[in-house]
Structure 1
Amino acid sequence: MTRDNRDGNARRRQIEAIRGRIDHPIVDADAHLLESVPMVIDAVERTAGRAAAEGLRRTIPTLFTGPGSREEGIPRGPWWPSSTDALYQATVMVPELMAERLDEFGVDFAVVYPSLGLALCTIPDQEVRLASIRGLNALLAELCLEHARLLTPAAVIPMHAPDEAIDELHFAKELGLKVAMIPPGVARPLEAYPEHFPLLAHMDRFGIDSAHDYDPVWRTFQELGFSVTAHGAVALRYLPGGRGSPTNYSYNHVLGHGYLMSEFCRSLVYGGVPMRFPDLPFCFLEGGVGWAIETLGALEEHWEKRGPDGLSEYDPSRLDHAALAEILERYGFPHAPPEMIGETERSPWARDEFEDSGLSGEADIARIFREQFFFGCESDDVTVHRALDAPGNPMNVPLQPIFSSDIGHWDVAHLDDPVPQSYRLVERGQLSKEAYRAFVFDEAVALHTRANPDFFAGTAIETAVLDSRD
């Protein structure tokens, strides 16, 4: 007997009670499909031919780090990654069944992200990468668009080069897809050690230090009406996450998504992307929002102390070495020569490290985090209330967390868990009903309608969305 059959009625009554206490829909901004690998391979064969399909078949086993290796420096990947409940498995594999059951889970509308797709966009071989993603996106449209009233799939956008991203964005638009997902970075070989890729790699995060100018990509997102949603995965061979236990997947997973998203976020800010595209929303998925609170405070501090004005306090040419020598001599300390303390002039590589950001002050940082950045938070995320608490945040900035169930993956044991878990924040007094509404409805609506005002047209929540914008 499955868990759903055993106590599903009790959980359903709990969800019904929650729905009776609120007057707004619940949007799941990050549910997951578990793609059928044979169906994906067949779709690739239909769109790109048999050779491309065989290329994908050979490539899939190489994308994950597996059991790990201390000798090779390979981190352990996920194991036992999915629920063993047959109905659960079928629900997250079959969009039609997911649409039928959303109401059971207390969800009115879901944005559905692929799972295998998180890995396909990291494939280093361009031919295999592009053919695989093209086939997957066509399959997602085929399986999901007939259920557009209740759910919408996210297209996978390859980002190894701007041209391939732009091409796939246009293809996704032609398919009728409304959500576009990029990886939080791509791994590139180091020029000095190409033979050691991917164990040694440079992570290009599309902002600062990027190999390409990605402004044409951001411009295309904007022109086609897509928000930028970024989603990574832990223990992908070609998406190094900075954490590398070869024996413990849990070690690698704890804070793993937050690490990926914080790196991507800082790359955008220091690279000036949100300042050049102030109307383009960005969403950092599955990493929670705790890292964002810390990042906001750290950026404020670094602007104050390492920005164009504060940095002059540390200019070594301002140090009075004679005065320092006199003070040290008074206490019996030798005075080191100036070259051992620091250069008397700025080193050639020292510069204003915010000069590429386009920022003019702390107010710009606050605006970006308050208006442009959204943060995907699972239902049991304990930092959601902190994010929405403006007086408790740096610069009094309220952040924009969005309810993201992550159903389909191991961290959601049962499909009807997320909504009750999210409402505990209200029951514990951590969120007001207004803040809860923002978390599970308003922020997700804002994320997608700022890029595409008609995003929810024809969906089950169209009227509620229109009413919320009046």
Structure 2
Amino acid sequence: MSKYSRLSTSPSAALKAKLDYPVIDTDIHTNDFTPDFEDYIANYGGSKLVDELRKAEFGRLNPKSEGKDWYQQTPEERQYHRTLRSPWWARVTKNTLDLATYTLPSLLAERLAEQGSDYSVLFPNNVLAAAGASNENRQALQRAINHYHADLYRKYSDRLTPVAGILLNDPKEAIEELEFAVNTLGLKVINIPGGVKRPIKAIADKYPADKYPEIARYASYIDFYGIDSEYDYDPFWAKVVELGVPIATHYGSQGWTGRSSISNYMNNHIGHFADGSEAFAKALFFGGVTKRFPQLRVALLEGGADWGAHVYIHLVDRFLKRNLEGLKNYDPTEANADELLDIFEKYGQELTKGRSFTKEELLQTVLGSSFLRHSRSPIGDELEDFGKAGIEKIEDIRDQWVDNFYFGSESDDRTIATAFNDKANPLGVKINAIYSSDVGHWDVPDLTQPLAESWSLVEEGVITEADFKAYVFSNPYKFYTQANANFFKGTQIEAKLNKYQPAPVAVKPAAQKVAVGV
């Protein structure tokens, strides 16, 4: 045993020894060792690709910085430029062993037992770094990054697998990179941004980005792919399903309205993954993506699972009030003008004060701006917010929200109880919460603790033992294998499941009856 082993003192390893099922961690963050990483990128695409990587990384960490990072700016400059206070001190440092573990693949593979996991999906810190690259270099840089991670972790594929970063700026480009990542590199999970920023054409046409870069920076919207997109992403979703690839995203909303403090990181951080992922997931739902591709499996990580239950509940509530039949309660043409006039004549003299109204004038006055602001009433598809999703009954919402989406919850997230509350969730369902330890980030100062920390929720009665098993094994296993039945073939999960299967009971042959006498 290595002198660095903490196996004998790990509370998570001690707990794991008592479980009769494997543990799957859907979210470990690793750090690329910059000299080796940049050498690989240079060998792949030359020094220009390394320069592109560095520029993209600086832009990601210092949005709206005017060439200076937050710490180089004075308070007045931060105020003037509205420079976002971005994450700081985001890595574990005091625990030097863990700091090294997230950078050294062999050490991580060796220490996985200390973490209490049998299999982990890895999200290297540079996996989507190409998102900030120029259009002409973006695809080449993303391919080089995926190739590097595939080569780096291939020898540990029985217990570790890195995600492939797939950018969705253009569906055709995304399909090319998806096929290369899966068919050539052998990667099994993809990580995508939950949205891509695009220019508002009405402004961009008037103020071209090359002449007015400052305007272009702000005159944008976020394309969430599923609804209102200028692009058709169905070919991409179809290819994902065809290749059997589960999708993951860590999509956040720092910098959005209400999350744009120039001084306080926590103000921008708390809840931002849930908000960003919610916007992405609702776009897929309302755009009918989960209806057209029921086999699509999407993990929304780091935001917890309670928001998944929250949105599901409100989807059902809103549909029950605003389905096509329910909308008749709010249709202005359904109002009885004769009855309204009669009621006002009996009870409205205090307000009308002798004014005379035709029944049409009175109706328009009572309805007010909610009626008058429209040049016409919505018609056809304009009436059906749930139309593209094809929702006809609340069971459809269950099938297209609960079945498609999985929600990454960290070990200290007590709100997971909401996901498993089948008394509150419509139709008695439990939301698919999945174990996402998030080790490698500041919220996990010791990798030996998360699994045991999650078990404390059972001890405190927050969740049941059955919920815990679903959280750390059944739901993650379902997520990956529903997308790809062979996902765990040749891994420790396959070996552990075989180990845990009870041996078949030997059945003695029935005794032959011997005829006695004739």
TM-score (structure 1 length as normaliser): 0.91
CA, structure 1 residues 22+355, in 2 after alignment: closer, same or farther (shift >3 Å)?
Answer: same
Which residue number in structure 1 is paired with residue 377 of structure 2?
A: 346
1:371 aligns with 2:371: no
Q: What is the count of residue pairs matched by the alignment?
A: 461
1:83 maps to amino acid: V
List gaps (5 residues or longer) in structure 2.
Answer: 64-68, 205-211, 503-518
1:95 aligns with 2:105: yes
Which residue number in structure 2 is paired with residue 167 of structure 1?
A: 176
1:391 aligns with 2:460: no
Q: 1:123 aligns with which of 132, 143, 154?
A: 132
Which residue number in structure 2 is paired with residue 205 of structure 1?
A: 224
Which residue number in structure 1 is paired with residue 44 of structure 2?
A: 47
List gaps (5 residues or longer) in structure 1.
Answer: none
3-state DSSP class of the match of 1:113?
Answer: strand
Q: Equivalents in 2 of 1:469, 1:373: separation in Å?
A: 29
Equivalent residues in 2 for 1:295-310, closer than 5 Å: 295-310=311-326
Which residue number in structure 1 is paired with residue 394 of structure 2?
A: 362
1:246 maps to amino acid: I
Which residue number in structure 1 is paired with residue 79 of structure 2?
A: 70
Which residue number in structure 1 is paired with residue 305 of structure 2?
A: 289
Q: Is the 8 A contact 2:56 2:133 kept in 1?
A: no
In terms of mean alpha carbon deviation, does 288-297 or 34-43 score higher? Answer: 34-43
CA, structure 1 residues 469+63, in 2 after alignment: closer, same or farther (shift >3 Å)?
Answer: farther
Q: By how many angstroms is 1:8 displaced?
A: 5.2
Q: 1:35 aligns with which of 19, 32, 38?
A: 32
Instruction: Report Cα offsets for 1:141-169 as digits up to 9, x if no partner.
Output: 11111101111110000100101110111
CA, structure 1 residues 314+112, in 2 after alignment: closer, same or farther (shift >3 Å)?
Answer: same
Which residue number in structure 2 is paired with residue 26 of structure 1?
A: 23
1:75 maps to amino acid: L
Equivalent residues in 2 for 1:397-412, closer than 5 Å: 397-412=429-444
3-state DSSP class of the match of 1:392?
Answer: coil
Q: By how many angstroms is 1:10 displaced?
A: 7.6
Q: By how many angstroms is 1:467 displaced?
A: 7.7
Instruction: Report Cα offsets for 1:155-200 as digits up to 9, x if no partner.
Output: 0001001011101111111101111111111111112333423333
Which residue number in structure 1 is paired with residue 240 of structure 2?
A: 221
Q: Is the 8 A contact 1:40 1:135 kept in 2?
A: no
1:153 maps to amino acid: P
1:148 aligns with 2:157: yes
1:433 aligns with 2:465: yes
Which residue number in structure 2 is paired with residue 108 of structure 1?
A: 118
Structure possessing the higher radius of gyration over alpha carbons: 2
2:233 maps to amino acid: Y
Q: Is the 8 A contact 2:284 2:290 kept in 1?
A: yes
In terms of mean alpha carbon deviation, does 329-338 or 349-358 score higher? Answer: 329-338
Report the aligned-residue RMSD.
2.5
Which residue number in structure 1 is paired with residue 249 of structure 2?
A: 230
Q: Is the 8 A contact 1:445 1:465 kept in 2?
A: no
CA, structure 1 residues 466+221, in 2 after alignment: closer, same or farther (shift >3 Å)?
Answer: farther
Which residue number in structure 1 is paired with residue 337 of structure 2?
A: 321
3-state DSSP class of the match of 1:390?
Answer: coil
1:62 maps to amino acid: G
1:371 maps to amino acid: D
1:177 aligns with 2:195: no
Q: Is the 8 A contact 1:241 1:260 kept in 2?
A: no
Q: Equivalents in 1 of 2:79, 2:288: separation in Å?
A: 38
TM-score (structure 2 length as normaliser): 0.83
Which residue number in structure 1 is paired with residue 492 of structure 2?
A: 460
Q: Percent identity?
A: 33
